[in-house]
Amino acid sequence: MAAKDKQPDQPQLYLITPAEFELDVFPDLLASVLDAHPIACVRMAMASQDEQRLSKAADALREVTHARDVALVIEDHIPLVERLGLDGVHLSDGAHQVRYARKELGPDAIVGVHSSTSRHDGMGAGEAGADYVCFGPVRESTLGDGSFAETDLFKWWSEVIEVPVVAEGLLNLELIKTLSPMTDFFAIGDEIWSTDDPVAALTTLREAMS
């Protein structure tokens, strides 16, 4: 993922795969999105813990992403990164594994962290060597305790912290317009995969970033 520009013209796009997908369908769908839009990174975020299934999925997605010079990271499975030829790891449970991941994967791997709504955890992840910090969801949800990352958090981060920041979770057009001046990446997942036409859905979201 690209280094942070303090005043980017427009945030970059970061795709998150569905938690479950069919290997005979999804790689082609992903390819169509990557061919239509500039994407900085794809996160393989499967719910499965079966290593064989994860390996097959990673092989299929890596073929699609690397052919287009797009980075592919896996969620949480640090030992699989090098084994499967991936570009890094996204840690979904905060900052405490960042140093371990960096030690295991080396300085060139992508190590990203989801810090939910916690400014403190995000700062800790950045200090530990994370390449980016995600905050989200960005609006109230019926899941969990209802907490969400407010606009002020992104505004403060963009003004004070050098580590790139990612807005993720329950994004809509209004929030994308609001957050575009203060985030480096938008992580897009269900916002497009749940539609009949992910390419068109992402076109609409991109237009809101302008």
Phi, psi of 177 (to 5 degrees): -60, -45
Task: Supply the pLDDT for residue 145.
Answer: 74
Q: Give the pTM.
A: 0.94
Task: List the pLDDT tens digit at each of the 210 positions of the chain.
Answer: 543 444 457 999 999 999 999 999 999 999 999 999 999 999 999 999 999 999 999 999 999 999 999 999 999 999 999 999 999 999 998 678 999 999 999 999 999 999 999 999 999 999 999 999 999 999 987 667 778 999 999 999 999 999 999 999 999 999 999 999 999 999 999 999 999 999 999 999 999 998
Task: Give the DSSP letter of residue 91.
Answer: E
Measured distance between the N- and C-terminal CA atoms of the chain, rounded to whole angstroms: 21
For 59, other C-beta atoms within 10 Å of its C-beta total 13
Q: How many helices (H) and strands (E) does the chain have?
A: 9, 8
Task: Supply the pLDDT for residue 143.
Answer: 67
Task: Supply the pLDDT for residue 1.
Answer: 58
Architecture of domain 12-209: Alpha-Beta Barrel (3.20)
Domain positions in the chain are: 12-209
Q: Which residues contact 78 (CB under 8 A, 6 or more apart)?
A: 89, 97, 100, 101, 104, 105
Task: Supply the pLDDT for residue 6.
Answer: 41
Q: How far is Cα 194 from Cα 53, in angstroms, rounded to an integer?
A: 22
Cβ(57)–Cβ(46) below 8 Å: yes
Task: Supply the pLDDT for residue 202.
Answer: 98
- Exposed/middle/buried for 92, CB within 10 Å: 0-12, 13-18, 19+? middle
